[in-house]
Amino acid sequence: MILELVTPEKIVLSEEVDEVTVPTTTGEITVLPKHVGLVTQVSPGELIVRKSGKVEHFAITGGILEVSKEKVVILGEHAIRADDIEVAKAEEAKRKAEQRMKERVSEEDFATIEADLRRSLLELKVARKRRS
């Protein structure tokens, strides 16, 4: 089956895969070829792609999953391969977000800062899990 993982910034992945495991709001699901049609919300977490005996891991912050007979499309808010996560950069982003959360900021700015913090924490979790 074809998997397309797309974010507002770029097409992260577009290739034939054997299966994909996706974190959703109702729990983790694994999509195999000929899966029944489905549209659901993706939760922040780890996305696992299997192809020809190899496994690839991604951190995804949320989005929408659409499964059809021909392909699986994930429209993600932010997604990155575990191997591409720069731990030092994610730790710095976490530190900055935590520091900014202590400042007096508007609710809108706070929500943006909180989203940045959650993204950096997710990236660190996936990177550390996969590199240990």
Q: Which residue ranges make up each domain of the chain?
A: 2-82, 86-131
Handedness of CA 7, 12, 18, 23 (dihedral sign): negative
Q: pLDDT of 2-13, one tens digit each? A: 999 999 999 999
CB-based contact 40:24 (threshold 8 Å):
yes
The architecture that CATH gives domain 86-131 is Up-down Bundle (1.20)
pTM comes to: 0.84
Cβ-count burial 109-130 (b if 16+ within 10 Å, e if not)? eeeebebbbebbbbbbbbbeeb
Query: Quick one: average pLDDT of 35-62?
Result: 95
The topology (CATH level 3) of 2-82 is ATP Synthase; domain 1 (2.60.15)
